[in-house]
Structure 1
Amino acid sequence: EYNDIILSTPKIQTSNIGYHDSQRKITFANSEGAYIEQNKLDLSLRLTAIATEDGQVQQIGLSLGSQGDFSTIEGLQDQAREMAQRAVRLLSAPQAKGDEYTVVLDPVLAGVFAHEAFGHLSEADFVYENKRLQDIMVLGRKFGSKHLNIVDGAAVPGLRGSYKYDDEGVPGTKTYLIREGILENRLHSRETAAKMGEKPTGNARALNYRFPPIVRMTNTFIEPGSVSFEDMLGDIKEGIYVKDWYGGTTSLEMFTFSAAEAYTIRNGKLAELLRPVTLSGNVFTTLGNIDAIGNDLQMNQGGGCGKGG
């Protein structure tokens, strides 16, 4: 049905729909006497509408995921229709001029930034193996304002990355990576915690029984602040508001992300729609430049991330 809705929109050439679900029973036992059984449900859906006109191609996607049942992805007819219409509108949108701008990220793209640009640098196996990163990621170092809090939390209930115990039998935690602008923790397995003289954080995860556990993020996000979206825009004379994500790459502290949609900010108001833009920068410089954090936290559970090949 979603496919039919998307394709019924004029100028939509292609509709892509990807669906996945799984149910796993995980049993863990160790020489310390632990015996843990966990049942894990996982469900994800990705809708993509691709619009074409006169050789131009634009697309918009919608990603959802949960640990719940099939009802999570039901009733999306209006969202599928609106998504297709947004893809069509991008065909006539202008391209932003390459430059440095004041940028406002929507909650989804802010989450991608927290995960990709900063979260991977907080994985202790990566830090332990990289002398330069050890010199940068010093606990107690200030990276942002007192309003900046970045959290990784398996113990946050009801989310796709949540669990009671990791794959080394360590309880899932809520770990402040940055608290009030200060680097407070990093993410550990038992092995990396022992090597670095720090406490395990319950972040050891294995793809399945054929692979050893490695340090992985769970639910990584920037805690909400107190600033409304309108107030955030209000002080910006000229800037760009970016929404959603296509993907991105990182190289140590440098990042490049592609936003799915963008709007000009002019004199404190949203103005014209822009074609998708690419954001590039240094994560540590960017963290230090964050001067407002919105109060509209949204947890997007539709993405995925690989590590170690």
Structure 2
Amino acid sequence: MEKNLKSLIDVKNLDYGDVRYEKNKTTRISMENEELKNINSSYREGGHLRLYRDGRKVVNSFTSFAEAEEMRDSLLSLAMRARSLDDEQKRLKKAPVHTDKVSIEPKSDPRDYSLADKKELLENYNDLALSREYVINTEFNYQDFHSRRTFINSEGAEISYELLGSYISGGIFGRNSDTVQVKRVSFGGYPEFSRLLDRDEEIEESCEILKQMLSAEPISPGSYPVILNPRLASVFIHEAFGHLSEADMIENNPSFREKLELGTRLGGENLNVIDDPTLEDRPGSYRYDDEGQKGKKTDLIKEGKLAGRLHSRNTASSFEEPISGNMRAVDCQYTPIIRMSNIYIAAGEDKPADLFDSIDQGYYLVNSKGGQTTGDQFTFGAEYGYRIEAGEKKEMVRDINMSGELFKTLENISMVADDLSFAEVGGCGKSSSGGSMQLNMFSGRGAPHTKIDSVTIGGK
């Protein structure tokens, strides 16, 4: 196969070329209430070709080598035509050339479990949630994905590597009179399938929290000091800041390039944000990206100052900054784009109790319930929360939305606890310029408890 792949990029007068070939297997199961909505196991094999000629990039996917050769010639012709239409030339930063083979060998591999085993596991959690009298609806989903990839480029790189992960996620919906609430659940195995087993206690705990949410009062709108629990803080840093650290998101935006110059102060000295694919057994962990570069730890914010950003070889050249190894594609249908790996707020020096003691009147917000960002503006929902009075956690509240401007909010992070934890399940949606959405399950996030001195809180 390697010989055939090499032939695709053995072209005269080529600036650069690479080809990625994949064998992917996906299993999906979904349930709604007691109904099995979907169960399937699928296989996809194919490749993706990138060619640079005279500073013009052309890309496409293929399913067979015969198709790929014809497609390559069409791409080269397209690159020649583009030369007369576009003055901008794309240049790749000089990069290390790797030859390596990387395999994943979990102790409990999802591929060793039958479809029936996975269905039974999902049904068990679903039935457990439905057994509560106040639960009116459930949605549970299972997915696993294995990808074996080969990457070859015209500079001599030859790499084979794997991705493997599985997860269960869902929602438990409850009703009390005219009040309806939903409690989200998620378990992840990256790569160990055994982490999805024996989670009955967490399902029962989620049901109990849902029961409390149904009788809780809505939060009072206003501006307050808040403490974000690790799951909500990790979503905040991923969505509100993390995407702006991806160089392709600001490459052609002069305003944000000015705001996000390296060395710019964004927060206090206690704020450190890192992206690190080298962490073990996290959703966003990997050895090589889909541009053939080793993933590496990148300090994004260090002691409150912008210290780095995430790059492709192209944007690293444009910004004249180091390659970070963050170019990734969901599968062979897509060209790689810059993606976070495991982004997290590093542990601080404060104890969680100290954060509570510092607040006279405020709120403790727990878990994420969706949201959106537009430039530097954000809005996030929290599943539930608790009122804080004189440092004490009081009654539960619900119907919570927090919103604000990113840079002011980063400045308002005054305390960071020492209890860093990571989300079990990854996930991130992003589209490239002019491209389709790529939903990537191999994207991790983490945070400790984090105090923000002032956040605008809205109700339902």
Identify which of structures 1 and 2 has the higher relative contact order when contacts are C-alpha pairs closer than 8 Å and 6+ apart: 1
Q: Amino acid of the residue matched to residue 179 of structure 1?
A: K
* Inter-partner Cα distance in structure 1 for 2:377 and 2:391: 29
Q: 2:367 aligns with which of 240, 244, 247?
A: 244
Q: Deviations over 1:123-150 (max 9, x none)?
A: 1001112111111101101111111100
Q: 2:335 aligns with which of 178, 201, 212?
A: 212
Give the match's secondary structure for 2:309: coil
Q: 1:289 aligns with which of 397, 412, 427?
A: 412
2:400 matched to 1:277?
Answer: yes
* 2:273 equivalent in structure 1: 150
Q: Amino acid of the residue matched to residue 276 of structure 2?
A: G
Contact kept, 8 Å, 1:175 with 1:201, in 2: the verdict is: yes
Contact kept, 8 Å, 1:18 with 1:45, in 2: the verdict is: yes
* Inter-partner Cα distance in structure 2 for 1:182 and 1:70: 39
* 1:178 equivalent in structure 2: 301
* Inter-partner Cα distance in structure 2 for 1:64 and 1:297: 18
Give the match's secondary structure for 1:168: coil
* 2:235 equivalent in structure 1: 112
Runs of 4+ aligned structure 1 residues displaced above 2 Å come to none
Q: Amino acid of the residue matched to residue 18 of structure 1?
A: N
* Inter-partner Cα distance in structure 2 for 1:131 and 1:104: 33
Contact kept, 8 Å, 1:166 with 1:203, in 2: the verdict is: yes
How much has 1:210 moved relative to structure 2? Answer: 2.5
Q: Deviations over 1:141-200 (max 9, x none)?
A: 111111110001111222110100100011001101000001010100111111111111
Give the match's secondary structure for 2:335: coil
How much has 1:97 moved relative to structure 2? Answer: 1.1
Q: Amino acid of the residue matched to residue 129 of structure 2?
A: I
Contact kept, 8 Å, 2:176 with 2:215, in 1: the verdict is: no
* 2:428 equivalent in structure 1: 305
Contact kept, 8 Å, 1:6 with 1:49, in 2: the verdict is: yes
* 1:85 equivalent in structure 2: 208
**Structure whose alpha-carbon radius of gyration is higher:** 2
CA-based RMSD of the aligned residues comes to 1.0
Give the match's secondary structure for 1:86: helix
* 1:30 equivalent in structure 2: 153
Q: Amino acid of the residue matched to residue 187 of structure 1?
A: L
How much has 1:55 moved relative to structure 2? Answer: 2.2
Give the match's secondary structure for 2:414: coil
* 1:13 equivalent in structure 2: 136
Q: 2:175 aligns with which of 46, 52, 56?
A: 52
Q: Deviations over 1:82-140 (max 9, x none)?
A: 10111111111001111000010001111001100000011100111211111110110
Q: 2:317 aligns with which of 188, 194, 198?
A: 194
* Inter-partner Cα distance in structure 2 for 1:131 and 1:64: 40
Q: Amino acid of the residue matched to residue 390 of structure 2?
A: N
Give the match's secondary structure for 1:194: helix
Structure with higher strand content: 2
TM-score by length of 2: 0.66
Q: 2:264 aligns with which of 141, 150, 156?
A: 141
Which runs of no fewer than 5 residues in structure 1 stay unpaired?
A: none
Contact kept, 8 Å, 1:40 with 1:67, in 2: the verdict is: no
Contact kept, 8 Å, 1:63 with 1:303, in 2: the verdict is: no
Q: 2:378 aligns with which of 255, 259, 266?
A: 255
* Inter-partner Cα distance in structure 2 for 1:276 and 1:53: 15
TM-score by length of 1: 0.98
Contact kept, 8 Å, 1:123 with 1:188, in 2: the verdict is: yes
Q: Deviations over 1:12-64 (max 9, x none)?
A: 11121111001110111111111111121111111321101222100111122
Deviates more, 1:1-10 or 1:211-220: 1-10
* Inter-partner Cα distance in structure 2 for 1:7 and 1:30: 52
* Inter-partner Cα distance in structure 2 for 1:303 and 1:13: 27
Contact kept, 8 Å, 1:67 with 1:160, in 2: the verdict is: yes
Give the match's secondary structure for 2:138: strand
